């Protein structure tokens, strides 16, 4: 389900990596490792809403970009962070049940 919402600026803390679409499509995926690191960390259990924020695009879809996977928080300075500016955002909601292997 998706919806458009107005949101004030907020801080996301978590794990960040830099990648590009070419690497992601050629089995050098950093994004899947990033999500795995997030879900195996203590920060993932702090809150139920998880964000994946893509930013710092170097050459639109052709260059490097950053992705940060995390939670909304203003106090965890031990993690990477990004400030999401106030504005209209599309929210994609999905309920997923995770299994421990």
**Domains along the chain?**
2-84 (3.20.80.10)
Label residue 60 left, alpha or beta by phi (over 0 means left) and psi (-120 to 50 means alpha): left
pLDDT at 53 over 90: yes
According to the model, what pLDDT value does residue 77 have?
Answer: 76
pLDDT-derived band at 90 (thresholds 50, 70, 90) equals confident
Q: Give CA–CA dist 74/82, Å, rounded.
A: 10
Q: Is the pTM of this model over 0.85?
A: no
pLDDT at 98 over 90: no
3-class DSSP assignment, residue 18:
strand
pLDDT in tens, 4-39: 999 899 999 999 999 999 999 988 889 999 999 999
pLDDT at 76 over 90: no
């Amino acid at each position: 389900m998706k919806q458009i919402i107005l949101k004030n600026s907020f801080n996301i803390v978590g794990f960040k990596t830099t990648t590009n679409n070419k690497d992601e499509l050629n089995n050098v995926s950093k994004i899947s490792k990033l999500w795995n690191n997030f879900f195996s960390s203590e920060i993932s259990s702090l809150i139920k809403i998880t964000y994946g924020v893509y930013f710092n695009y170097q050459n639109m879809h052709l260059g490097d970009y950053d992705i940060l996977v995390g939670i909304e928080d203003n106090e965890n300075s031990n993690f990477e962070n990004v400030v999401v500016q106030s504005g209209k955002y599309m929210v994609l909601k999905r309920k997923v049940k995770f299994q421990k292997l």
